[in-house]
Amino acid sequence: MSWSVVLITNLPVLISSVSIFRKISKPEFFLTRNTQKNAGIRSKVLRFSAKIPCCLRLKYRLFDVVPYVLIFCLPVLTKGKIVMPHTRDYLPQKDAEFAVWSENFFAIVSANAAAWDIPPSEISALETATDNFKNLQTQADSPARNKIIVEQKNEAKKILKEKIRELANYRLRNPIITNDQRIALGLHVRNRTPTPIPAPSTRPEFDIEVLDFRRLSVSFHDMGSSGRAKPYGVSGAVILYAVLDAPPKNVNDLTRSVLATRTPHVFEFAEEERGRTVYFAICWQNEKGERGPLSEIENAVIP
């Protein structure tokens, strides 16, 4: 890739960078008029005063400009070759590779159409789109190539891709299609083995806060964590509690429970429970209903 092409392709980024730098330096112009009475000539003197862009005077922070500079310098750092991020698209991008891929795809799909419950009308539409792109792609690679043929080829490629994706996202999700067949089709292999969700291994920590009459708030988080995120695979916290006149001997005395999926969880008690002591213990529960170790028992007086 020549440097002129690189400069032209990155011209919008350069303009954006220059505009940012103009906002930083922000030059000021002063126009003064001096009238020379003796000569009767009005002269205009343009005096230019520009602020020096230094770190102490930047209106915008320096690291706000760095991304624009790096984007513009990217082709230089990569010797004129911009490396695009890897994509997981199963369709090849180059026309020649896509032509071979689509012919193989059509051959396998048409051969297994009856077994995979694909209607003949969809097979016919896929065949038409495949042949149309193949013919136009051949013309685009021939000496007869022109702008009209290229546009028609690109449109045919777009239509063929749509047909392929419709089949891949609907008909070819049939569970009878094996992973080997998906590989032969050129599609991604499905991971049909669900990721195991482990039982919670940590215990939550919690704080009790008095809100107002008969209302308490329980805020919980994972042990040793300052954030409110739940551990992986955890659906919520099981809060065991009971209003007792004496401290519980163990968690079996906490006969009431609730699954709190968000923190904090607010409890509202009955009027006759005001002044009594409520005891709490919490454990994590995953999506399969498995519980982790319980926290220490804490208590609070119902306001």
Cα–chain center distance at 240: 37
Q: Please tell me the distance from the alpha carbon of residue 108 to that of residue 178, in angstroms, as a whole number.
A: 13
Average pLDDT, the chain: 77
What tokens appear for 193 in the block? 């083995």
Q: What is the pLDDT of residue 12?
A: 57
Burial profile 165-178: b = 16 or more Cβ within 10 angstroms, e = fewer: eebbeebbeeeebe
Among 204, 203, 219, 202, smallest CA distance to 300 is for: 219
Whole-prediction pTM:
0.41
Sequence-separated (6 or more) residues with CB below 8 Å from residue 276: 243, 244, 245, 301, 302
DSSP code of 84? P
Angle at which helices 120-140 and 147-169 pack, to 10 degrees?
150
CA geometry: angle 258, 261, 265, nearest 5 deg: 65
Could you read off the pLDDT of 51-97 as tens digits, one per residue? 444 444 444 455 555 555 555 555 544 444 444 444 468 899 899 99
Q: What is the pLDDT of residue 14?
A: 53
Q: What is the pLDDT of residue 240?
A: 92
Torsion angle of C-alpha atoms 102, 108, 114, 120, degrees rounded to 10: 20
Sequence-separated (6 or more) residues with CB below 8 Å from residue 294: 203, 240, 251, 281, 282, 283
Sequence-separated (6 or more) residues with CB below 8 Å from residue 119: none
Q: What is the pLDDT of residue 219?
A: 92
Q: Residues 238-248: what's their mean pLDDT?
A: 92
Q: What is the pLDDT of residue 72?
A: 54
Cis before 120 (ω within 30): no
Q: Under CATH, which architecture does the 204-301 domain have?
A: Sandwich (2.60)
Cross-strand pairs, 70: none
Among 265, 261, 254, smallest CA distance to 284 is for: 261
- Check whether 32 has a pLDDT greater than 60: no
Delimit the domains of the chain by residue range.
3-77, 95-185, 204-301
Query: pLDDT-based confidence at 172, cuts 50/70/90?
Result: confident
Query: pLDDT-based confidence at 20, cuts 50/70/90?
Result: very low
Q: Residues 202-217: what's their mean pLDDT?
A: 91
Q: Which residue has the tokens 């915008």?
A: 60
Query: pLDDT-based confidence at 225, cuts 50/70/90?
Result: confident
- Check whether 109 has a pLDDT greater than 90: yes
Could you read off the pLDDT of 124-164 as tens digits, one per residue? 999 999 999 999 999 998 898 899 999 999 999 999 999 99
